[in-house]
Amino acid sequence: MKVEKRLNQGKLSNSGVMALTMAVVLWGSAPVGIRAGLVGYAPIQLSLLRFAIASILLAVYVAFTGIRVPQRRDIPSLVLASIMGITFYNTILNYGLTTVSAATASFMIAATPIWTALLAMVLLGERLTLTGWSGVLLSFAGIGLIADQGGRGLHFSPGALYILLGTFAYAGYQVLQKRLLARYNAIEFTCYSCWLGTLFMIPLGRGLVAATHSAPIAATLAVVYLGIFPAAIANVGWSYALSFIPASRMSSFLYIMPVVTLAIGWLWLREVPPVLSVVGGALALAGVSMVNLWGRATGVAELSPEMGD
């Protein structure tokens, strides 16, 4: 096949690189957009409105492309993955971002593959090399610096703790995702997880209609942006790029996401994260890079952070 030939030769399609760059920039803007949307919406209301918009757009997309019905045996795993990776993760992330800067949150989120690798060892029998374990320890050191509030040692603020709990949930989501992607393509998994995750938000999102009437227009536009771009278009762009670019190369692009968040956060909200958060985030990303590039036993695929937030 032509796609396989491109992958084997390691030649990057221009359209694939453009789609990948778009996805990374849009995902990098998500924490900033959430901070802007929280001015007018409660965390769960923001999640529900955002993913309701994304769900509608994805439904329109698959109306033209088609999608397979999931097998009955996979429904429990899809439901669990949707609750962990869409409903719980995005809601608790929003709670965390009420007090944590967008860039600090982005650095913590970017360390998710560390938890994913550790979970994969327990649940999937994967192994880490000595270099991989060194990367894990380096990432832990970076997270420790992020948690060092004013020189008081390992002390997570409530917002940072929420985000840390969210990354645990997202790591579980990625392990389930890895199993399901053996039978479903990226678009199919994205659609079903988004639709189911949104469905489980509905009972929790009371007051959303009233909030849309009282929220500042800038906050509502921020949530609409989140639903259209980071939640829907970025996922489609990532899936498209995956058909042209090897996953190992794609994962390296994701390490620039916190830098994108830092730049957009400064331009949009004039936010500047603490120096320790930036240094700790750089160490955490270095550890993630070590695990993804050199940390796994032969034959084990990398676990890259497919954000979608």
How high is the pLDDT of residue 17?
Answer: 79
pLDDT for the residue numbered 251: 59
By C-alpha distance, which of 261, 269, 245 is closest to 93? Answer: 261
pLDDT in the model for residue 77: 95
Q: Which of 122-126, 158-162, 194-198, 242-246 has the lowest mean pLDDT?
A: 242-246
State how far the alpha carbon of 167 is from the alpha carbons of 107, 108, 113, 257, 271, in Å.
Answer: 11, 8, 9, 16, 22
pLDDT tens for 197-217 read: 999 999 999 999 999 999 999
pLDDT digits (tens, 9 = 90+) for 19-46: 888 988 999 999 999 999 999 999 999 9
Q: Contact, 194 vs 52, CB < 8 A?
A: no
**What is the reported pLDDT for 219?**
97
**246 or 289, which is more confident?**
289
Return the half-sphere exposure (C-beta side, CA atoms, 13 A cut-off) of residue 24. 22
Give the pLDDT of residue 75: 95
pLDDT, residue 225, reads 97
pLDDT value, residue 147: 67
Helix axes 14-37, 43-65, angle to 10 degrees: 150
Instruction: Please say if the pLDDT value at position 192 is more than 60.
Output: yes
* Average pLDDT rounded to a whole number, residues 217-228: 97
Between 270 and 114, the more confident residue is 270
What's the pLDDT at 309? 56
Higher pLDDT, 210 or 185: 210
Reported as a single tens digit per residue, the pLDDT across 243-288 is: 666 655 665 666 778 888 888 999 999 888 778 778 888 888 888 7
User: Looking at the DSSP assignment, which residues form a beta bridge with residue 154?
Assistant: 148
If you write DSSP's letter for every residue of the chain in order, what string do you get? Answer: -HHHHHHHHTPPPHHHHHHHHHHHHHHHHHHHHHHHHTTTS-HHHHHHHHHHHHHHHHHHHHHHH--PPPPGGGHHHHHHHHIIIIIIHHHHHHHHTTTS-HHHHHHHHHTHHHHHHHHHHHHS---B-HHHHHHHHHHHHHHHHHHBGGG-SB---HHHHHHHHHHHHHHHHHHHHHHHTTTS-HHHHHHHHHHHHHHHHGGG-TTHHHHHHHS-HHHHHHHHHHHHIIIIIHHHHHHHHHTTS-HHHHHHHGGGHHHHHHHHHHHHH-----HHHHHHHHHHHHHHHHHHHH-B-TTPPP-------
